[in-house]
Structure formats: structure tokens, C-alpha cells
A and B are shown apart, each in its own frame.
Chain A
Amino acid sequence: QKEVEQNSGPLSVPEGAIASLNCTYSDRGSQSFFWYRQYSGKSPELIMFIYSNGDKEDGRFTAQLNKASQYVSLLIRDSQPSDSATYLCAVVGNQFYFGTGTSLTVIP
């Protein structure tokens, strides 16, 4: 079983819609959770991180964490074509583990 699992997609949403990206992890002791965005041919860049159960909002982005269910998600409101990228979930247990990423396409 992989440490971090993501649906590889591709996920397509129309412009202005909400995109929902999901991630599950196996290590119950994991404490920190990150979402990175990676455009094609570029390096990952941090969108946001979350440490506590519940929601954390930053602009159009909301991260949601449920440690009991070992589940973390990212919601993107009012999706824009510029949001089209691969989104990587990262979980910190004894090491920093990345998921394989979900490819998102926002259709104008």
C-alpha cells in the first residue's frame, strides 16, 4: 500500500465550477499535510498546508483534513483555466511522502 494515494484523473471541470481533489494516507501518525501545484514541465509550488482537523481557507482554495478517516482534500472555487495543472498531495510522517498527483483541466 502506498503511503499517499490520489486519483490520477484526469479531472475536468468547467470554468467557474468547484474542483475537488482528494488524497488518502496510510500513516495514522502523520501530522502535516501539503498541497502543491505543478504545471507541465515546471517544479512543484506550494499552495497551502494544513495541520489540524477541519477546513483551512486561502483565497479560492480550501484544504480539508479528517485525521480519523485519514483523508485530506483540496477544493478550488471559481476554477480558472490557469488552475489547469497537476496537484500533488504530500504527507509528513517519518518522511515527506508525495502522492502521484491528480491532473486537473479547467475548460473555458
Chain B
Amino acid sequence: NAGVTQTPKFQVLKTGQSMTLQCAQDMNHNSMYWYRQDPGMGLRLIYYSASEGTTDKGEVPNGYNVSRLNKREFSLRLESAAPSQTSVYFCASSEISSGPDTDTQYFGPGTRLTVL
């Protein structure tokens, strides 16, 4: 049982390049989330998926797109990377199906992204 996995662990991009961050969970959770964490800013929600086939914007969605590929996988895409998107990105999952709600979130190991 791997929990929540993320790939890649590290990535360096040039401004304007695109990339997709992958996330998968094997806990049969309904809800999945993407956060970014910046020094002094804490964890900020980018997008979430309450259940397979649904996605919703979080606090900071601009510049990102997501795809809930199936119940296990939730990807985050940067279409045209900007230096302001340099951050650590965490994927998380939780059991219940009604969105960010009263349930524990389990986090992946994170992706450290640098945009030059």
C-alpha cells in the first residue's frame, strides 16, 4: 500500500514550457486535491476533485488545469510555466465524496518545481 504517490519528485522548467504533474492513490479515496506550498504562505489549494469526473477550483487556480483521469489518478498541468509557479506541489486524497470536508487528507511526498 503506497498511499499517495507523485511524479516527478523534482523538475526544472524554463518560462513558457509546459508539464504535467502526476498523482495516484491506492486507498480507494473519492476526493483528491492539489496544493502548492510557498515559504510564508502555507498550503494553498489549487484544484480539487470531489469524485471521479468532477473538478473544482480552489484558492489559486490561475495558470493550472487538472484532469481526474479515474478514481486513482489526478493530474495537474502547467500549460505555460512562469517563475511565479516555482513552488512545492503536494497532492492529497481523502475518503469522503463531498469535497474538502470533515475528513483527514493524506499527502504525497511532493514535487519540487523550479521555473527559470
Contacts and interface: CB of A to CB of B under 8 A. Distances in A.
Interface of A: 4, 8, 31-32, 34, 42-46, 49, 51, 88, 90, 92, 94-101
Given A43-B90, A43-B107, A43-B109, A92 B101 contact: yes
The SS class assigned to the B binding surface is loop
Nearest to B94: A96
A88 B104 contact: no
Given A96-B45, A98-B43, A100-B40, A32 B110 contact: no
A4 B108 CA distance: 23
Nearest to A8: B40
Interface in B8-50: 33, 35, 40-45
A37 B45 CA distance: 18
B110 A95 contact: no
A100 B102 CA distance: 20
